[in-house]
């Protein structure tokens, strides 16, 4: 990532904006965060949270 917050791929430069929410190690908060990222923030890419409990909780939502 360069100073402008972009990465260069074979098809050109792409701006990257990082959005993160504190899920407080809570499966319920993880579900809320994933739903907000998809429904409100309209993100193009999701990275799963750390931890088995959170991943199992968001699996039905993370499609």
The answer to the question of residue 8 being in a domain is: no
In this structure, what token pair is assigned to residue 35?
């739903």
- In the chain, % of residues over pLDDT 70: 98
Q: What is the pLDDT of residue 56?
A: 87
Number of C-beta neighbours around residue 57 at 10 A: 20
The answer to the question of residue 42 being in a domain is: yes
Mean pLDDT calculated for residue range 50-57: 86
Q: What is the pLDDT of residue 63?
A: 67
Domain total for the chain?
1
The Cα angle at residue 34 between residues 32 and 38, in degrees rounded to 5: 115
The answer to the question of residue 39 being in a domain is: yes
| Pick from 50, 49, 47, 44: nearest CA to 16 | 44
Domain that holds residue 63: 23-63
Is the pLDDT score of 36 beyond 90?
Answer: yes
In this structure, what token pair is assigned to residue 46?
């999701």
The answer to the question of residue 59 being in a domain is: yes
Distance (Å, whole) CA 31 – CA 38: 11
- The pTM of this model reads 0.74
The answer to the question of residue 28 being in a domain is: yes
Q: What is the pLDDT of residue 50?
A: 83
The answer to the question of residue 15 being in a domain is: no
């Amino acid at each position: 990532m360069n100073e402008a917050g972009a990465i260069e791929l074979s098809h050109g430069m792409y701006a990257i904006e990082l959005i993160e929410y504190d899920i407080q190690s809570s499966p319920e908060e993880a579900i809320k965060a994933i739903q907000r990222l998809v429904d409100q923030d309209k993100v193009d890419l999701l990275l799963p949270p750390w931890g088995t409990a959170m991943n199992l909780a968001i699996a039905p939502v993370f499609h």
